[in-house]
Amino acid sequence: MKTLALALALLLPCVAAVPEAEKGRTMGNPSAPLLFELYSDFMCPHCKLLHEQILPAIVLDYVKSGKAYLIYREYPLAIPSHVYAREAAAYAVAASRVGKYQEVSDALFRTQDTWGSNGAIWASIAPVLTPDERMKVKGLSADPGVLASVQRDVDRGRKANINQTPVMMITYRQKVQPWGNFGDYSLLRGYLDGLLKR
C-alpha cells in the first residue's frame, strides 16, 4: 500500500504537467519528456510553411520517437485579413471529433490560398471526408462545444502572451519556452537535443 502511495505521489507531477488537450488533436506519448503546444492559424502563410515543411521533421525526430508529446492549439488571429481563420479552426476541431484532424489540417493548409480568398472552406475539406463524416463535421462545426474549444485555445494563447503565429510552447521539466522562429530547423533541433541531454 505504501509503495502504491509512493508511486502515485511520484507520478502525480507528471500527470499534472500535461495540460488539457482534446484527444483528437494530439500526437505521441503524453508522458514524453518534452511537451509541444503548437499555436497555429490556418490562414497564416508561416503556419502553412511550418506545417508542410518543418513539422514532419519535428514529428519524426521527437514525437514518433517518444521524446515529445504534441498538442495542436487553434489560434485564429483576430485581424481583418484572417477573416475565415476562426471558421477554419472550427472545422478542424469538428474534424478532430471524427478522428480526421490531420487530414483536414493538411487539406486546409494545402488549399489555403483558395479558401483564404473565396471563403469556400467546406469545398476544400469535404474531399478528405467520407459522406458520413461530412454530415457529422458539418453539424459539429457550429456546435457550441466545438466553438468553445476554439475559444479555450485562443484564451490559453492570449494568457501565454502569444501575439503571432506559429508559436510552439516547448515545456521541459516544467520550464516553458515559446519558440516562434522555424526558418532553420537545425537551430530548434540543437536546442531540443541540448535540453534532452541535460
Partner 1 sequence: MDSSKDRILKIAVILLRVAMGGIFLYAGYVKLKDPWELFAAGIRDYEMVPNWAADLLAQTLPYFELLIGLLLVVGRFLRLSTVSVSALLVVFFSLMVRAFVQGKEINCGCFGPNELISWKTLVRDGSLLAVSLFLTVMAFRARRTSV
188 near partner 1, rule: CB under 8 A: yes
Place of cell 462545426: 141
93 near partner 1, rule: CB under 8 A: no
74 close to 141: Cβ distance less than 8 angstroms: no
94 close to 111: Cβ distance less than 8 angstroms: no
Please report how close the Cβ of residue 190 comes to partner 1 at its closest, in angstroms. Answer: 6
46 near partner 1, rule: CB under 8 A: yes
Please report how close the Cβ of residue 18 comes to partner 1 at its closest, in angstroms. Answer: 23
Per CB under 8 A, which region of 1-9, 67-75, 106-114, 162-170 contacts partner 1?
A: 162-170
For the chain, the residue count is 198
In the chain, how many H helices and how many E strands?
Answer: 10, 5
Per CB under 8 A, which region of 62-70, 84-92, 93-101, 156-164 contacts partner 1?
A: 156-164
Q: Smallest Cα–Cα separation from 55: which of 41, 36, 42, 74?
A: 36
181 near partner 1, rule: CB under 8 A: yes
53 near partner 1, rule: CB under 8 A: no
Q: Smallest Cα–Cα separation from 68: which of 36, 37, 21, 95?
A: 36
Q: Which residues contact partner 1 by CB under 8 A?
A: 46, 161-164, 167, 177-184, 187-188, 190-191, 194
